[in-house]
Structure 1
Amino acid sequence: MEQLIDQAVAVRAGEELDATAVDAFIKRHASGLDGAPEITQFPGGASNLTYLVRYANRDLILRRPPFGHRAKSAHDMAREARIMAALKPVYRYVPDVVAFCEDQSVMGCDFYVMDRIKGIIPRQNLPKGLALNEEDTRKLCLNVIDKMIELHQVDYKQAGLDHLGKGEGYVARQIDGWSERFRQARTEDVGDFEAVMAWLKAKQPAKDVATCLIHNDYRFDNVVLNPDNPFEVIGVLDWEMATLGDPLMDLGNTLAYWVQADDDPIFQQMRRQPTNAPGMLTRQEVIDYYGEKTGYHVDNFDFYAIYGLFRLAVIVQQIYRRYQEGQAKNPQFAMFGGIANYLEQRCQRLISQSTL
């Protein structure tokens, strides 16, 4: 299964790191490293950048914010590192943080280094060498969802994690916050989303379903599978948006990325995880399974589903604006304005079908 393990590639132009400075910093915090590191980059992700720092005897992962102007609150590396360190004792799938750097002379930004969890990351498609039938694929799907449920069931108060978020009132804060972020990031070639934002404001539930630990970006390409047993989740990555909040909002975020086999061609083109594979649960099956396992009422999930799509649209639009202003280098971002427009239409279609 070694050939199925997720691999880094050459660093994108404009996103190179100073290997000498990185090496000196890491060796001040981790002993026994041999030689100079080889630095490559993981191609996935559209927010914080992820690099493989490979020594002869140890693989490390470096996470840093995107280059160019950015709101620190949106790429708070110190918060991400603190959250991971706090969660590790109660949620074993979190990688070990090796060191956090706030010395701007090293890289011109905050960043952190963690141990690599070496395994299979299910990206757009399941790896070709991973021969799973429909029953196997369903088993994998359920195991991935179960790890999200396990996170939601952590007793955050007993673990001393009350400080991770504001708790009650999360839904209302999210609707107001993401609406304001969209208005600030909007460009002239993208719709205004005003009807969608008004609907979410009017239809939001009176109170949160519960307050629990939520990941806020839980997807197949943020989990790591055991290469010797690909049904087993051994890691969960990308904790930058984790907080205390409503678990159904977290599920809504997850399902915004969940492109299933019968979705329209445009949504299919946006797919970044293998949720269309034979055996994968549909979005409705995920909702039903989650409700059955947790006991939360999921009978009318429209609000959370539309919220998840709207939030995804805001993230896409923020990246698109940075690309237009020359602050983001990935050429794939050029199409993000069109994706935002599609997501507005998708939200409006779901609103027209909703019984809320």
Structure 2
Amino acid sequence: MALTDQSTRIREGEELDAAIIDQYLKAHIPGLAGEPRISQFPGGASNLTYLLEYPDQEFVLRRPPFGHKAKSAHDMGREYRILNQLKSGFPYCPKAYVHCTDESVIGAEFYVMERVDGIILRSEMPAELHFSAEQTRALCKSFIDKFVDLHNVDYQACGLGDLGKPEGYVARQIGGWSDRYEKALTPDAPLWEPVKAWLKDKMPADHHKPSIVHNDYRFDNVILDPQNPMQIIGVLDWELTTLGDPLMDLGNTLAYWIEADDPAPVQLMRRQPSNAPGMLSRQEFADYYAERSGIEIKSIDFYYTYGLFRLAGIVQQIYYRYYHGQTQDKRFAQFIHMNKLLEQMSLQIINKSQL
């Protein structure tokens, strides 16, 4: 098994015209020579990601998915801008080269960035790494350290003060995801009414210092140095990035953080090796984050439940496209079961919560 992230053949219906892309890139990137070989990265369920291999240079192309897209989602220009401007305060952003707004080129907006070649951890920790529990724990803490570093970035100095509206962020997220969920409902989807009511009732005030909110910070969006896998060299997928309460971002990340002793159905959702020996538990994750950030976290229940509900909203939006035949990706057929499981997990937290 190769440790570096591998691309594969392009899924049916998601092909790109190599000649047209080559012509466009050579007109916008000086010194580019040769012909590109295009393949597709299999991960991800939102924007589509392709590898463009030239003889002397490699790029990554990102474009929106085919079919129905939620309003304001998949903004290529926004992600391109974030990569270029945030890099001065957070050096783990890949360099973005060009943003194409002319949809006649490939049928959608897209942008092209450098390929940061490295190791991306998926659902299982690669045996080839030979990580001990102590090394895994150290990597986990480094992962959280980078998260805290991002939340401490001076976004005004990066020219990103207009990226979002931090005031009222918590309330907007609860209301916004409730609306988006309802618009993506299918006849077989759960309604989430008790959870939505609880989130609205327990909503904390925006009392934390606003920060850059990545909104999708997971190990499978982090690149490790192939020569030193303990070292993080890149962070990907800035599509949903905005300004807001950093603890809401923590809740997003905890929603993906599946522990070794979580039930078997929950394990089926795992997309990163958060269950590996040495990885912190969700509570330990939050405690270490609080220690490094200096933010007091009395309970993770609200933020974790919000993260699960938001994840269900994302899952349901994707399933909506599959349900209505707007994508042929067979992975999405199971997303309705993931949605139902996320609701069950949320209700269990609420039933035990002291909030």
TM range (shorter): over 0.9
Q: Displacement of 1:3 after TM fit?
A: 3.6
1:24-39 matches, cutoff 5 A? 24-39=23-38
Q: Residue deviations 1:156-181, cap 9 Å, x none? A: 22333211111121101100000000
User: How far apart are the structure 2 equivalents of 1:207 and 1:88?
Assistant: 27
Higher mean Cα deviation, 27-36 or 216-225?
A: 27-36
Q: Residue deviations 1:188-219, cap 9 Å, x none? A: 11110011111101100022422011101000
Aligned residue number for residue 298 of structure 2: 299
Aligned residue number for residue 283 of structure 2: 284
8 Å CA contact retained: 1:168, 1:208: no
Q: Residue deviations 1:242-266, cap 9 Å, x none? A: 1111000001000101011000011
Amino acid at match of 2:111: Y
User: How far apart are the structure 2 equivalents of 1:123 and 1:43?
Assistant: 11
Amino acid at match of 1:179: S
Q: Displacement of 1:42 after TM fit?
A: 0.6
Provide the aligned length of Structure 1 versus Structure 2. 355
Aligned residue number for residue 186 of structure 1: 185
Aligned residue number for residue 250 of structure 1: 249
Higher mean Cα deviation, 35-44 or 72-81?
A: 72-81
Aligned residue number for residue 200 of structure 2: 201
8 Å CA contact retained: 1:169, 1:208: no
Aligned residue number for residue 81 of structure 1: 80
Q: Displacement of 1:127 after TM fit?
A: 2.1
Change beyond 3 A, Cα 1:190–1:72: closer
Q: Residue deviations 1:208-238, cap 9 Å, x none? A: 4220111010000000000011011100000
User: How far apart are the structure 1 equivalents of 2:157 and 2:42?
Assistant: 38
- Which secondary structure does the structure 2 equivalent of 1:280 belong to? coil
8 Å CA contact retained: 1:86, 1:161: yes
Aligned residue number for residue 21 of structure 1: 20
Aligned residue number for residue 164 of structure 2: 165
8 Å CA contact retained: 2:86, 2:155: no
Aligned residue number for residue 227 of structure 1: 226
Amino acid at match of 2:10: V
User: How far apart are the structure 2 equivalents of 1:281 and 1:336?
Assistant: 27
1:62-101 matches, cutoff 5 A? 62-101=61-100
User: How far apart are the structure 1 equivalents of 2:295 and 2:129?
Assistant: 34
- Which secondary structure does the structure 1 equivalent of 2:229 belong to? strand
User: How far apart are the structure 1 equivalents of 2:106 and 2:207?
Assistant: 40
- TM-score relative to the length of structure 1: 0.98
User: How far apart are the structure 2 equivalents of 1:127 and 1:185?
Assistant: 36
Q: Displacement of 1:295 after TM fit?
A: 1.1
1:96-175 matches, cutoff 5 A? 96-175=95-174
Amino acid at match of 1:292: E
8 Å CA contact retained: 1:60, 1:113: yes
Amino acid at match of 1:137: T
Q: Displacement of 1:72 after TM fit?
A: 4.7
Amino acid at match of 2:354: T
Amino acid at match of 2:151: H
Q: Displacement of 1:124 after TM fit?
A: 1.1
Aligned residue number for residue 51 of structure 1: 50
User: How far apart are the structure 2 equivalents of 1:52 and 1:225?
Assistant: 18
Amino acid at match of 1:230: P
User: How far apart are the structure 2 equivalents of 1:136 and 1:246?
Assistant: 31
Change beyond 3 A, Cα 1:252–1:168: same
User: How far apart are the structure 2 equivalents of 1:146 and 1:132?
Assistant: 19
Aligned residue number for residue 5 of structure 1: 4
User: How far apart are the structure 2 equivalents of 1:345 and 1:64?
Assistant: 33
Amino acid at match of 2:33: D
User: How far apart are the structure 2 equivalents of 1:353 and 1:132?
Assistant: 35
8 Å CA contact retained: 2:168, 2:206: yes
Q: Displacement of 1:299 after TM fit?
A: 1.6
Q: Percent identity?
A: 56
Higher mean Cα deviation, 39-48 or 156-165?
A: 156-165
Aligned residue number for residue 326 of structure 2: 327
- Which secondary structure does the structure 2 equivalent of 1:224 belong to? strand
- Structure 1 unaligned segments of length 5 or more: list them: none
User: How far apart are the structure 1 equivalents of 2:38 and 2:71?
Assistant: 25
Q: Displacement of 1:66 after TM fit?
A: 0.3
8 Å CA contact retained: 2:195, 2:346: yes
- Which secondary structure does the structure 2 equivalent of 1:4 belong to? coil
Runs (4+) off by over 3 Å: none
User: How far apart are the structure 2 equivalents of 1:188 and 1:234?
Assistant: 43
User: How far apart are the structure 1 equivalents of 2:336 and 2:122?
Assistant: 23
Change beyond 3 A, Cα 1:72–1:40: farther
Q: Residue deviations 1:265-304, cap 9 Å, x none? A: 1100111100000011110100000001111111211100
Amino acid at match of 1:289: Y
Aligned residue number for residue 355 of structure 1: 354
